[in-house]
Structure 1
């Protein structure tokens, strides 16, 4: 019961009653709560209770580097929830700016999961390294590209101009990430400010264009296709260039048409077919049209001859 009261009072920011409750719990400042192993400091930082945080650090003398079961520090909590006052307090008290939690996530990476530019700036101003990667090879730039705040992307590129030149362990770039999640403004910025190849492939052979098609982000797919054409103007005939890009296949021999049909994105399928992409079997012998289920998609394929498929004969 005492544990529940402590955590409730921290969450509510009730410092007066918390002091009284702490006096009745002899190991309050050392106690780890629940399976997460959070301390009172973790809870105060998570809920943005600066007065409580100050009391725990300066009166109870709790260690600001205390970690829970996932090696998460109070700074991780404050950064991930966007509590700028708590972040600044912990940093001013000497918290390690690039401390690592489980899976090698830094507070800066946690801050980039939210669109809070000021917290990101504060961490970098205090020495956070934006080029660090977690166990999956993601940097804070991958995370920011997924969240899609153009101001954050612009700031990170300004303070670290080479930050864009990174890949995850499966060779996915921030451009892949932004395209997959439909972050049109970020994709525009990445294509303008960075030297990405629009048709770069990850380990599965997927390009940002294919990511955009699969998830129904037609505007991004068109932008990537246009950028691809611009980047090679004067070297290959436009028609051949367009065909080379559209006919790219992933590790399962699927084309963009397979991905568009799988996602039931009729508009994307229409664009691909009009651009000249022909249906072909993947590694299992499945044609894209066999994945079409919605009436709008079936109508597009109506009248187009069914390709022969020896695998199914």
Structure 2
């Protein structure tokens, strides 16, 4: 119902129209005068609104009190089933809501969309109203029982501006679903503290976490993750929250989910994992993040306590301490590795077929292999850093394993001793003298002198 259309006073007598206008404007003096002339306080306009609807929806406590004192029908519903309680809750008018609650109204009364006043307060992002209604006995896990996809939201009940046709209320939405749709972290926290179920799903199989991810509310996603939401729950399309993050390229949210630990093997109805979804959508950074996470999960199984107290990130590495080595890896990928050699190197480091396929889906031309190889090397470096291993030694061994002994025995050493890779780690081994000192190079790489 559009507010302007709802305000139209069709169907009212002249004095009744004036009473509606006075209630809407909190003109208590004029209201008293009209009521003294026995104007009908229950007169309804063409959409079922009475004067109390306007007073409550506008938060005019004086006007509401006056109407209640003169036997206004407190449970009167407009054409969409909204009572004054719905309107006050949806607009966050605490004083009016308290007065309506105090007279003992039915807190579980539903409008035509199946929404209670608690749904309205949650959807309107009003934590104080939510707390008031919960203390008064509203059911925190109540589900809507409305008309479903054909119903449209009432603007007056949900004035946040987030409600569009794509947000049309559906069946079986809990109050926490409505808080998630409006992106309200505060309301969600109140509902969860009161026992709101984080894993309830609507008729489309979507949990509050699905909705928070889909509409890109990172703070709310974090709250739901920390509140033991099921990270791997699937909606009716068999999409997990990570599938949605991958589809929309929400990197911050994706990292939260990946750090929390999700099942990367789950497939949607099209048979695609979250990695495949990101690759298909050409979200390069997300592809690399998911591969890093997958490799980390595999490593973590054998090293469950090695990261205690350490921070974890799957985003692109911009740290100063890795800048020189990252530069060397770019030179390796762009100048020295042949088109298929990056794949050989990837497989020698236990990248999976799915990893390699996801990387090479981002085609940029005949020299794409250079970018592919560089991305693979940066993903590999992330794993080395996470595990606290010597990347130089692993790179040396990897190049030897794919038959590039020339790079392993010469180029890597020269890069290691170059000014580009100068620094405490290399200079301590005496490599500032150049790459001719093989024994010093071996020592820096942690390799035996006899290594071929």
Q: Same fold (TM over 0.5)?
A: yes
Match of 1:48 among 73, 92, 105: 92
In the alignment, is residue 172 of structure 1 matched against residue 239 of structure 2? yes
RMSD (Å), alpha carbons: 3.0
Moved more, 232-241 or 183-192: 232-241
Instruction: State the shift of 1:275 in Å.
Output: 5.7
Identify unmatched segments of 5+ residues in structure 2. 1-16, 18-42, 44-48, 146-170, 299-345, 371-452
Alpha-carbon distance between aligned partners in 2 of 1:235 and 1:169, rounded to the nearest angstrom:
39
Does 1:270 pair with 2:364? yes
Structure 2 residue 144 is matched with structure 1 residue 31: no
Instruction: Encode CA deviations 1:115-135: one digit per residue, 9 max, x unaligned.
Output: 322211111111111121111
Between 1:106-115 and 1:220-229, the stretch displaced more is 220-229
Q: What residue number does 1:100 align with?
A: 143
Aligned residue number for residue 351 of structure 2: 238
How many angstroms apart in 2 are the aligned matches of 1:22 and 1:98?
A: 31
Partner residue of 1:80 out of 119, 123, 133: 123
Q: Check the 8 A contact 1:190/1:196 in 2, yes or no.
A: no
Q: Tell me the TM-score normalised to structure 1 length.
A: 0.70
Output one character per residue of 1:221-264: Cα deviation in whole Å (capped at 9) or x when no partner: 332244445556889853744444469xxxxxxxxx6xxxxxxx
Change over 3 Å in CA distance of 1:174–1:64 after alignment to 2: same
Pick closer, same or farther for the CA change 1:65–1:273 going to 2, 3 Å: farther
The structure number with the bigger radius of gyration is 2
The structure with higher relative contact order (CA 8 Å, sep 6+) is 1
State the alpha-carbon separation in 2 of the partners of residues 6 and 98 from structure 1. 29
SS in 2 for 1:67: coil
Work out whether residues 176 and 191 of structure 2, in 8 Å CA contact, stay in contact via their aligned partners in 1.
yes
Per-residue displacement from partner, 1:11-58 (whole Å, max 9, x unpaired)? 3211212333456675x2222112x21111111111001111112121
CA distance in 1, matches of 2:368, 2:347: 24
Q: Which of residues 196, 201, 205 in structure 2 aligns to 1:128? A: 196
Q: Is 1:11 matched up with 2:75?
A: no
Q: Distance in 1 between matches of 2:249 and 2:78?
A: 39
Which ranges in structure 1 are unaligned for 5 or more consecutive residues? 248-256, 258-267, 277-313
User: What CA deviation, in whole Å up to 9, does each residue of 1:67-99 have, x standing for no partner?
Assistant: 111211000010111101100000000110100
Q: Partners of 1:221 and 1:38 in 2: how far apart?
A: 47
Q: Is the 8 A contact 1:175 1:196 kept in 2?
A: no
Per the alignment, residue 306 of structure 1 pairs with none
User: What do the CA deviations read for 1:87-112 (whole angstroms, capped 9, x no partner)?
Assistant: 00000001101001031111011111
Shift of 1:139: 1.2
**Partner of residue 112, structure 2:** 69
Tell me the secondary structure at the aligned position of residue 104 of structure 1.
coil
Cα distance in 2 for partners of 1:112, 1:137 equals: 15
Normalising by structure 2, we get a TM-score of 0.50
CA distance in 1, matches of 2:211, 2:219: 14
Corresponding pairs, count: 252
Measured in 1, the distance between the counterparts of 2:369 and 2:82 equals 55
- Counterparts of 1:24 and 1:269, CA distance in 2: 74
